[in-house]
Amino acid sequence: MDWQQIGNWFVMFLSGCGVALEIFVITLVCAIPLGVLLSFGRRSKYKVISWPVSLYISIMRGTPLLLQLLFVYFAPRYLFGLNYDRFLAALIAFVLNYAAYFAEIFRGGIDSMEKGQYEAAAALGMSKPQTFFRIILPQVVKRVIPATANEVITLVKDTSLAYALSVEELFFMANRQTSANGVITPLIIAGVYYYFFNLLLSILFRFIEKKLNYYK
């Protein structure tokens, strides 16, 4: 076994980790707020809002992310002759897809809140925004943490799908090294990176869950 070479790969793949991390962070930062908005839209009493949002969510959840990635990049090209940045295309696809999943999680969390909480707040004269931000939201956050954690961990692994658009992230690099050298080691190294990053995340989420466990 060539330890030197293995070490080289570990270092070489750091840039791929950086790209994957970029996708990961930007997706979360955009998809979570968008997911919150979509969850409101999904719960809207106005059908002109709730219906299209439901359709959107069901399409995003009902078709492969890989297909969506290719669609976001290639549809503008084949339909309008528009070429644009592959990395940007990957980001757009991830955000659109993950926002739909987050929306469903948040919607479930909001729906699970007892009517009594709203009524107690209303009886105390609290306004709708006060009720939402002071009473409902903090409890919803606690309730959606486990499902959100699952989704976030899935996202780490899903960033590898960006390789389909030749975005030079971790998996893309490892895959190329594996083909070029005819050894499996680069893919294993990529797996190690993914695994440890997710290990960190699950520790972080366990910590957050514990922090929020001061009430039931």
Footprint on this chain of another protein (rule: CB under 8 A): 114, 116-117, 119-127, 130, 134-135, 138-139, 142, 214-216
Q: Which is nearer to another protein, 210 or 216 (CB)?
A: 216
In contact, 176 and 189? CB cutoff 8 Å: no
Q: Which is nearer to another protein, 62 or 116 (CB)?
A: 116
Least separation in angstroms between CB 137 and another protein: 10
Alpha helix (H) ranges present in the chain? 3-12, 14-43, 47-62, 65-80, 86-111, 115-123, 128-130, 137-158, 170-181, 185-211
Dist CA 143 CA 206 (whole Å): 13
Reported as half-sphere exposure (CB side, CA atoms, 13 A), residue 143 has a value of 16
Q: Which is nearer to another protein, 1 or 114 (CB)?
A: 114
Q: Under DSSP, is residue 126 helix (H, G, I), strand (E, B) or coil? A: coil
Dist CA 88 CA 22 (whole Å): 11
Dist CA 7 CA 216 (whole Å): 47
Q: Which is nearer to another protein, 62 or 114 (CB)?
A: 114
Least separation in angstroms between CB 115 and another protein: 9
Least separation in angstroms between CB 124 and another protein: 4
Least separation in angstroms between CB 111 and another protein: 17
Least separation in angstroms between CB 135 and another protein: 6
In contact, 181 and 136? CB cutoff 8 Å: no
Least separation in angstroms between CB 105 and another protein: 19
Q: Which is nearer to another protein, 3 or 214 (CB)?
A: 214
Q: Which is nearer to another protein, 47 or 216 (CB)?
A: 216
**DSSP designation for 182:** T
